[in-house]
Amino acid sequence: MNSRAEARGSGLDTAKLSIAALLIVAGILAFYFFEGYSVLLRVIGLLVIVGAAVAVAYRTEPGRTLWQFAMDSRMEVRKVVWPSRQETLQTTLIVIVMVLIVGLILWLFDMVLMAILRFLTGQGG
């Protein structure tokens, strides 16, 4: 009995997700079909259609699962200890200095290899 309810719900979820996808496709097609109208009106219409598609998709089990995941993600982001402005600036400067140092080392290495190559091929002299 329970498996039948899950199967019916799953089929209904598939239908709802299909409707949501069709709404998004229809919104995109309408956006380009009405290109003679103001861009503002077309964007508002597209946003309304996408909002309707999201509302339909939210009514499915995968939609509710995705929403719960988003809420849990927000909670985890709040728990993160973010670095201070000074720590961020110091780390950024260290990265910039290291990139310059490594670039200089690679440039010098390239110059030495080119000098050796010119010497071996006889093109430098």
Does 1 score more than 80 pLDDT? no
Tokens representing 15 are 């239908």
pLDDT at 7: 52
Please give the pLDDT value at position 11.
86
Return the pLDDT at 10. 84
Question: Which residues 6+ apart lie within 8 Å of 27 measured at CB?
Answer: 45, 46, 49, 50, 53
* pLDDT one-digit tens code per residue, 8-62: 568 899 999 999 999 999 999 999 999 999 999 999 999 999 999 999 999 999 9
Residue 9 has what pLDDT? 63
Q: Is 110 helix (H, G, I), strand (E, B) or coil?
A: helix
Q: Is 110 exposed, middle or buried (0-12, 13-18, 19+ CB in 10 A)?
A: exposed
Residue-wise pLDDT for 68-111, tens only, equals: 999 999 999 999 999 999 999 999 999 999 999 999 999 999 99
